[in-house]
Amino acid sequence: MFGGFYTVQFQLDEAIGRSVMYARAGKMLGGNSAFAHVGAYEEIDGEVAIEVKTIRHNPDPNYPAMAGTDDATLLARGRPGGALYHFEGRLNELPQAVFRAVLTPVEELLLPIAGRVGEGGISNGLYSIHIRTLDGVDGGLTGVMLLNDGRILDACFYYLGTYTSENGRWKGQILNREHTPTRGDNPIFGGHEVGIGFSGTCDGEEALWGATALVGKRSLRLNAVLRLMRRL
């Protein structure tokens, strides 16, 4: 059965990209440092038919759209090959280009035990996240973060973690595990596996947190802004 959390490597003709994707109950939510990927899937006669739309959340021109437009729609079909899923299809906006993708599942054994979400807690859904370093350290990251019943899943350098939330507050811990080298002159995690504890405020559409991360021998204070893009 298709479903769960996947890392994704995709290719549009010669251009290559990476992201993560979460699939459940016919819905698909994911993305990377510049784009959210929102769509749906249907299992038909051993194949998985998908329709996924791209939504830009990072205006940085250093992250160009592969299709030449920020708003693109992918139609593709996939089949399992062992534990992996292989997809092929085309973009409506660039029908002459061939799209291919390989989805690799993140094993359930790696996923942490979910935290508790009470009344007034943060909403389940796909969020854009923008992280900045403090104390005069120049650096930052953008991406997407999926919050789902006390579990955190992130993209590109992916995060796995847990949180608790109620009464407009939330707190938790996340572990950074990079699967794609981050861009820019000042990658704040630089390929390290990093543990982060955070706490902050939340409402139905936005969340804030402050955190401290131990990166190698260096301790970094971070601030992050999360904005809800699509509810689960």
What digits encode the pLDDT tens for the residues 80-121?
999 899 999 999 999 999 999 999 988 654 556 678 899 999
What pLDDT shows up at residue 187?
55
Which residue is associated with the tokens 């939504």?
A: 55
How many angstroms separate the CA atoms of 100 and 93, rounded?
16
Return the CATH number of the domain spanning residue range 4-105: 2.40.128.380
CATH superfamily of 111-231: T3SS negative regulator GrlR (2.40.128.380)
What pLDDT shows up at residue 158?
58
Supply the DSSP string of 88-145, one letter for each residue: EEEETTEEEEEEEEEEEEPPGGGSPPP--B-TT-PPPEEEEEEEEE-TT---EEEEEE
End-to-end CA separation in angstroms for the chain: 20
How many angstroms separate the CA atoms of 73 and 149, rounded?
29
- Give the burial class of 197: count Cβ atoms within 10 A of its Cβ; 0-12 exposed, 13-18 middle, 19 or more buried: middle
Question: Is 155 a residue whose pLDDT tops 70?
Answer: no
Task: Identify which has the larger pLDDT, 22 or 180.
Answer: 22
Question: Is 232 a residue whose pLDDT tops 90?
Answer: no
The per-residue pLDDT for range 182-226, each reduced to its tens digit, is: 544 445 565 567 788 999 999 989 999 999 887 777 788 999 999
Domain with CATH 2.40.128.380 in the chain: 4-105, 111-231
Mean residue pLDDT across the chain: 86
Asked whether 212 and 219 are in contact (CB, 8 A), the reply is yes
Cα 102 → chain centroid = 16
What pLDDT shows up at residue 71?
93
What pLDDT shows up at residue 114?
76
What pLDDT shows up at residue 43?
97
How far lies 174's CA from each of 32, 79, 166, 195, in Å?
A: 17, 32, 18, 6
78 token code pair: 């996939």
HSE-CB at 162 with a 13 A cutoff on CA atoms is 9
Question: Is 139 a residue whose pLDDT tops 90?
Answer: no
Report the candidate in 133, 203, 144, 198 with the shortest Cα–Cα distance to residue 168. Answer: 203
